[in-house]
Amino acid sequence: MKRTSRFVWLVCLLTTACSPMMIEFEGRRLYNPDWAWALDVRREAWQQPDEVLRALALPDDAVVADIGAGGGYFTERFSRELVRGHVYATDVQPGMITQLQERVRERELDNVTVVRGDFDDPGLPPACCDLVFFSSVYKEIEDRVAYMRRVRPLLREGGRVVILEFRPGSPGPGPPDAMRLSVDAIVGELRPAGFALVERHDFLPRESFLVFEADVEMRADSSLR
Ligand SMILES: C[S@@+](CC[C@H](N)C(=O)[O-])C[C@H]1O[C@@H](n2cnc3c(N)ncnc32)[C@H](O)[C@@H]1O
């Protein structure tokens, strides 16, 4: 890390160290908007966003929903990649919506629409998306099976859902162990919502990277686990 970015990181750490990473918001346990910066620091090293996008191989006119987009780390990358496409960036917390709007304005991400979703509904139009993307948000959703049933109609034909989630016991900082979900747990929740696991990428050191499709025959996805 360069000296200046190390300094910025240290200042941010000191100013937010007194506030918790997770907060109670409207009765739910959510990521603290004051900590949104922390999601960006040194993230290339452990989340490899360029490799994640490369693995998804989206055409440049694809439409993506970045659910629980937080500060917009992936939103910005999708926006720059999908030069003829569109990105819906959603969140439930006003503090995150403000950060998203600021990033979109300051970095002139003209193909991004910021949407305030509900806890149990993404708030997007039917058949809007080729990809519905969840990075470190899936675990924060309360009734996940019901939520994912609402996600299904958002997909266009051949559409995909991607879930990035911290693996239990993976190295480095991250959410508390009690909040982490195994691959089996995620696959088991998506199945009753009508999704099958079609790809699993194992190159990320801390997170599971799972790709699901709807309306495919429920194949023996245990072979992918
Ligand atoms: C750990 S942050 C991840 C932010 C972003 N996806 C990233 O990778 O940088 C989780 C985000 O999900 C949001 N969130 C939690 N529950 C949500 C829900 N039901 N619908 C949409 N967003 C949600 C939180 O407000 C928070 O901004």
Per residue in 40-53, pLDDT (tens digit) is: 667 888 889 999 99
Nearest CA owner, ligand 1 atom 10: 137
Best residue among 138, 140, 162, 209 to mutate for probing ligand 1, ranked by most atoms within 8 Å of CB: 140
CB atoms within 10 A of CB 14: 9
> In this predicted structure, what is the pLDDT of residue 112?
98
Classify domain 46-224 by CATH architecture. 3-Layer(aba) Sandwich (3.40)
DSSP state of 34: G
Report the separation in Å between the CA atom of 17 and the middle of ligand 1, taken as the mean of its atom positions.
20
> Tokens 């080729």 label which residue?
130
How far is the first Cα of the chain from the last one, in angstroms, to the nearest whole number? 35
Nearest CA owner, ligand 1 atom 15: 140
Q: Is 9 left (phi over 0), alpha (psi -120 to 50) or beta?
A: alpha
Would strands 129-135 and 155-166 be described as parallel, antiparallel, or unpaired? Answer: parallel
Report the separation in Å between the CA atom of 220 and the middle of ligand 1, taken as the mean of its atom positions.
30
27: confidence class by pLDDT, cuts 50, 70, 90: confident
Please indicate whether residue 117, judged by its CB atom, sits closer than 6 Å to ligand 1: yes
> In this predicted structure, what is the pLDDT of residue 60?
98
In whole angstroms, what is the distance from residue 30 CA to residue 15 CA?
A: 20
In whole angstroms, what is the distance from residue 198 CA to residue 15 CA?
A: 42
Helix (H, G, I), strand (E, B) or coil at 211: strand
Query: Which atom from ligand 1 is nearest to the alpha carbon of 164?
Result: 8
Q: What is the mean pLDDT of residues 75-84?
A: 98
> In this predicted structure, what is the pLDDT of residue 191?
95
Please indicate whether residue 119, judged by its CB atom, sits closer than 6 Å to ligand 1: yes
In whole angstroms, what is the distance from residue 125 CA to residue 65 CA?
A: 11
Please indicate whether residue 37, judged by its CB atom, sits closer than 6 Å to ligand 1: no
Report the separation in Å between the CA atom of 89 and the middle of ligand 1, taken as the mean of its atom positions.
10
Lowest mean pLDDT among 16-25, 143-152, 154-163: 16-25
222: confidence class by pLDDT, cuts 50, 70, 90: very low
Please indicate whether residue 32, judged by its CB atom, sits closer than 6 Å to ligand 1: no
Average pLDDT over the chain reads 88
Question: Which pTM does this prediction carry?
Answer: 0.88
30: confidence class by pLDDT, cuts 50, 70, 90: confident
> In this predicted structure, what is the pLDDT of residue 44?
85
